[in-house]
Structure 1
Amino acid sequence: MKLSVLTALFFLLSMPLQAQSYNQALEAGVGFDSLTGNYDNWQSAYIQYERSLSDETLGYLRFNQTRRFDLSDNEVLTGFYTELNENWQLFGELGGSGTSRVRPELQGQIILSRALNNGYLISVGAHRSRWPTSTTQGYSLQLERYFSQWRWSYRIRQDHLLGGDSALSHAATLSYFYDDWSAITLALNQGEEAEKIAPQQVLITNVKGISVYGLHQLSPSWGLRWAMSFNQQGDFYDRRGVLLGLRYRF
């Protein structure tokens, strides 16, 4: 789980869509990652706009600025989440970077979910990222359950570096929802991932990490986004990260 680029789905949905009572939201934040070895530290910043397109659909537009390996990238992402009917949901995202020094020049993902009995939800997804010199693609399968004020999930993800190796990773989360739209999550991950570990080098590396992140309601309109993470990227480096963001609903 790359906490320097938190998944769009978590940023978009801190709780089920039917619990969202606002039409629009604006969020901005900054992140910092400290790396061991001879690697430069990472910095990031983002701004995101969300809008309810209908009672069943939420859309968003996101701008990221990322600095890694002493290089900077700007990135634009757009996506949606929609309830197709009472059992099926669909999430999609497309974006890219015009400079693509450290971020993909084009990336996309799509996730289809189905609600089951007793609060269970099963999801299948596909993703693809293209850099100037490399392309990765893969699939994911996730099972999660909502019960009372809690949610747990387990995800298995496959990545394939075209012309190279394949990778398999596992991630598990436990979330607690409180105070209307506040949430805190503990996340663990282990396995292999395709990661850009240098400006011109995308490799399959062993990874393991732990993170804690959440959204805390400050008032009916304002919320505080936060995250702390620790990740081991094979033998290349260890990374410790923090993120803070401010969210306004209207």
Structure 2
Amino acid sequence: MKRWLWLALALCAPLAQADVATARRQVEAQQLGAAQATLEAHLARQPEDAEAQFLLARVLAWQGRTQAALARYRQLLQREPDNADYLLGQGQALLWVGRPRAALEVLERAARRAPDYAEVQQLMQQARAALTSPATTTAPALAEPPRRRHELELSTRRDWLDSGYDDWRSQRLDYASTQPEGLGWYAALLREQRFGEWDRGAELGGVLPLDANWTVQSEVGYQPSPHFLPQWHADLRLQRRLPAGFLGAASIRRTEYETTRVDRLALSGERYWNAWRASYTLNLTDVQNAGTPIGHDLALDYYYDNLSYAGLRLTVGEEEAVEEQRLITSDVRAIGLQGRHWLDGGWALTWEFGQHRQGDYYQRRWLQLGLRHAF
């Protein structure tokens, strides 16, 4: 009897290995549905095969079935909670499903277990970048693309000015569409009131990941009959992901007013670590026939509950501004707080308030509130 049992086990082992090998060949041929069927049939016979479960979890994630993949990863990690490969796979699935904060927590666990695991370090940078720019995350070339995310926001803002100036008012309707390792785009309709006049305009932009590290972004804006806003602007930005959670970027922008032109070069650096993001931007501006102001922008953000965040903004240096229908350049000092809090059902509240001093011309305080929906 024992001899028959050993014979059966000896025959089953090669068959089990053949099933997994067949599934791997199907994955290489991008036959993900067939690979899933092969692995599920195999696991029905041998449910404890961790290698097959791990491959099935990845196949499910590659097909966009991230919730099913996450369930498989939870089962695997119950048995081996310190397995860096399982943690890496779970972190990737969380990133694709739009939960970069949770992904970062998992990947930090993997990094503590395997500090030299290059793929873990790379994915951690992607998760940190995705906290502010979801289009920068990366999916395997053989996978079907994860589900595209759309967001729509309606916001209103009011600025209170001193020195006898009328208050400003503005409303915006913003739309954004993002997808990991795919083209992202955004657009906005806006209207603003200053100095007793209303201006209306539109903006359109796109974000294209060139590879795992490089991203290019472009934006244009147009106001058909402006009183104080520019007639148009165009912006081009190139971003590079760097080691240790750093990002570097450079952008050029041209803004055309009725009476003058403004060119700006912006050089920025960002650092992501744990739940934090810090950035610095140097703005070098050339105002036609009016000098070359230099400004500095600093930001510090804290992320919680995935994409919810609260942040501090500081601006110092020189900046151009519109006073009635004249473009002026003066020293500026500004401080602001802003944030976005995601609620259940894909809804978020956005907020921003602060104070801005435009040299000796005026001081303004502002408050902006918005409602955002993801679908």
Normalising by the residue count of structure 1, what TM-score does the alignment of the two structures yield? 0.90
Structure 2 residue aligned with 1:38: 164
Structure 1 residue aligned with 2:348: 223
Q: Structure 1 residues 204, 98: closer, same or farther in 2, change over 3 A?
A: same
Q: Structure 1 residues 59, 15: closer, same or farther in 2, change over 3 A?
A: closer
Partners of 1:54 and 1:175 in 2: how far apart? 22
Partners of 1:123 and 1:60 in 2: how far apart? 19
**Which residue, out of 123, 127, 149, partners 1:23?**
149
1:213 equivalent to 2:338? Answer yes
Partners of 2:179 and 2:316 in 1: how far apart? 37
Partners of 1:67 and 1:144 in 2: how far apart? 34
2:329 maps to a residue whose letter is I
- C-alpha displacement of 1:52: 3.2
Partners of 2:374 and 2:132 in 1: how far apart? 13
Query: Which is helix-richer, 1 or 2?
Result: 2
Structure 2 residue aligned with 1:184: 310
- C-alpha displacement of 1:169: 0.3
Partners of 1:210 and 1:201 in 2: how far apart? 25
Cα deviations by residue, 1:217-249 (Å, 9 ceiling, x for unpaired): 012410011100100001000010000010011
Segments of 5+ residues of structure 1 without an aligned counterpart are 1-11
CA contact (8 A) 2:131 2:307 kept: no
Partners of 1:203 and 1:69 in 2: how far apart? 15
- C-alpha displacement of 1:209: 0.4
Structure 2 residue aligned with 1:239: 364
2:208 maps to a residue whose letter is T
Partners of 2:154 and 2:321 in 1: how far apart? 25
2:363 maps to a residue whose letter is D
Normalising by the residue count of structure 2, what TM-score does the alignment of the two structures yield? 0.61
Cα deviations by residue, 1:17-48 (Å, 9 ceiling, x for unpaired): 33996521111110000001111000000001
CA contact (8 A) 1:42 1:68 kept: yes
Which has the larger Rg? Answer: 2
The root-mean-square deviation of aligned C-alpha atoms, in Å, is: 1.8
**Mapping of 1:77-226 within 5 angstroms?**
77-198=203-324, 200-226=325-351
CA contact (8 A) 1:181 1:217 kept: yes
Structure 2 residue aligned with 1:8: none
1:214 maps to a residue whose letter is G
- C-alpha displacement of 1:100: 1.1
- C-alpha displacement of 1:14: 3.4
Higher relative contact order (CA 8 A, sep 6+): 1
1:14 equivalent to 2:132? Answer yes
CA contact (8 A) 2:248 2:270 kept: yes
Cα deviations by residue, 1:157-184 (Å, 9 ceiling, x for unpaired): 0111112211000011100111111111
Q: Structure 1 residues 97, 13: closer, same or farther in 2, change over 3 A?
A: farther
1:248 maps to a residue whose letter is H
Q: Structure 1 residues 195, 114: closer, same or farther in 2, change over 3 A?
A: same
Cα deviations by residue, 1:35-65 (Å, 9 ceiling, x for unpaired): 0111100000000122237742210110011
Partners of 1:228 and 1:44 in 2: how far apart? 14
Partners of 1:91 and 1:183 in 2: how far apart? 23
Partners of 1:54 and 1:76 in 2: how far apart? 26
Count of residue pairs brought into register by the alignment: 238
Query: Which is strand-richer, 1 or 2?
Result: 1
Instruction: Return structure 1 stretches of 4+ with deviation > 4 angstroms.
Output: 19-22
CA contact (8 A) 2:148 2:179 kept: no
- C-alpha displacement of 1:82: 2.1
Segments of 5+ residues of structure 2 without an aligned counterpart are 1-129, 139-145
CA contact (8 A) 2:147 2:179 kept: no
Partners of 2:156 and 2:206 in 1: how far apart? 23
Structure 1 residue aligned with 2:196: 70
CA contact (8 A) 2:203 2:221 kept: yes
CA contact (8 A) 1:33 1:41 kept: yes
Q: Structure 1 residues 39, 13: closer, same or farther in 2, change over 3 A?
A: farther
Structure 1 residue aligned with 2:121: none
| 3-state SS of paired residue (1:166) | coil
CA contact (8 A) 1:53 1:59 kept: no
